[in-house]
Amino acid sequence: MVTKEEISSYIESIPPPPLIVQRTLEFVRNGDLIRAAKCAEEEPALKLYLKILVNRPIYGFRNEVQDVSQIFGILGLSTAQQILYNYLLTLLAPKKWKLFTLNNPKFYDLQASLSRKWEKILRHLNLLTHDHESAISLLPASIIVCDALFGDHKQEVEQLRSVKALDYNTILFRLSKQTLFDICGLIAQKWEMSPTISRIVHAASGQDQAITPEEELLAKWMHLLLFYELSQSIYVEAGLNEFIEFQIEFVQDIYESFMQVVGAE
């Protein structure tokens, strides 16, 4: 089963952001989308990812968007930063998923759908900032980490879960005293992401205590968004609906508002 040594080895194996992405992020943070787009043009893999993601059906563009400058102009500063973090996550995504029945198109669709719905939520809450919007990009890291740590122990995990209906996050905590959200926080540190991003995503576990009222509100909406998204049939079939425990009590006071904002789509 998963050991602390495996977790440490996995974290150590996470590469720093490529220099081009670091430079592009710096331009975005400084509000210079023109130079950010020119910088992104220098990295073929990043350029391709931007085109693939922005042209997913969830974004709803009638005509295919090809030009990177146009992509950045359409996205704006906050969303551009978020999508650059999304790209970094794809560098961690496995070439072949072992635990979950996923592939790149499904994962890109998940990223895009979470991003669009999260932006809508933040506008509803009047809390749309660069870091708040970018926080959603770190959330799928928990899925990647889960697959990476448990993928080679699939049979053992299935045997354990057949005896006790435990989610993967609970299993990991019992084995190592660390959660998937703890590891996401370590990834955020390694990539020098804002502490605000890390705190919001960690709080989205529904189990944090020492957080501000604003962070708690964002965490509730993010927690419910995650489970709403993973309840879609395509992700249920992929096995994603049981990788962390749904904290019903944590989100019950926002459920009606959430469905009005997100469920009406």
Q: pLDDT digit string (tens) for 201-212?
A: 999 998 887 889
The answer to the question of residue 46 being in a domain is no
Please state the pTM of the whole predicted model.
0.89
The answer to the question of residue 26 being in a domain is no
- Percent with pLDDT over 90 in the chain: 56
Q: Is the pLDDT of residue 66 over 80?
A: yes
Q: Is the pLDDT of residue 215 over 70?
A: yes
The answer to the question of residue 53 being in a domain is no
Strand runs (DSSP E) across 108-250, as ranges? none
The answer to the question of residue 34 being in a domain is no
Q: Which residues contact 96 (CB under 8 A, 6 or more apart)?
A: none
Going by pLDDT thresholds of 50, 70 and 90, the confidence category of residue 22 is very high
Going by pLDDT thresholds of 50, 70 and 90, the confidence category of residue 265 is low
The answer to the question of residue 82 being in a domain is no
Q: Which amino acid is at 26?
A: E
Distance CA 162, CA 164 (A): 6
Question: 């710096």: which residue's tokens?
Answer: 26
Per-residue pLDDT tens digits for 182-204 = 999 989 998 889 999 999 999 99
Q: Is the pLDDT of residue 75 over 90?
A: no
The answer to the question of residue 67 being in a domain is no
CA angle 85, 88, 92 (to 5 degrees): 135
Structurally, the chain folds into a number of domains equal to: 1
Q: What is the mean pLDDT of residues 138-151?
A: 92
Going by pLDDT thresholds of 50, 70 and 90, the confidence category of residue 162 is confident
Q: Is the pLDDT of residue 264 over 70?
A: no
Domain that holds residue 152: 4-15+95-263
Residue 222 CB-density burial (10 A; 0-12 exposed, 13-18 middle, 19+ buried): buried
Distance CA 170, CA 190 (A): 24
Rounded-to-10 torsion of CA 230, 233, 239, 241: 30
Give the burial string for 143-159 (b: 16+ CB within 10 Å, else e): bbbbbbbbeebeeebee
The answer to the question of residue 153 being in a domain is yes
Contact 131, 194 (CB under 8 A): yes
Report the pLDDT value the prediction gives residue 197, as an integer from 0 to 100.
Answer: 92
Per-residue pLDDT tens digits for 92-137 = 999 899 999 999 889 988 988 999 899 999 999 999 998 999 999 9
Mean residue pLDDT across the chain:
90
The answer to the question of residue 237 being in a domain is yes
Report the pLDDT value the prediction gives residue 237, as an integer from 0 to 100.
Answer: 93
Report the pLDDT value the prediction gives residue 108, as an integer from 0 to 100.
Answer: 87
Distances (CA, A) of 134 to 45, 76, 139, 140: 21, 12, 10, 12
Nearest to 24 by CA among 6, 11, 37: 37
Say how many C-beta atoms besides its own lie within 10 A of residue 231's C-beta.
Answer: 12
Provide the residue count of the chain.
Answer: 265
Q: Is the pLDDT of residue 14 over 70?
A: yes
Going by pLDDT thresholds of 50, 70 and 90, the confidence category of residue 157 is confident
Going by pLDDT thresholds of 50, 70 and 90, the confidence category of residue 76 is confident
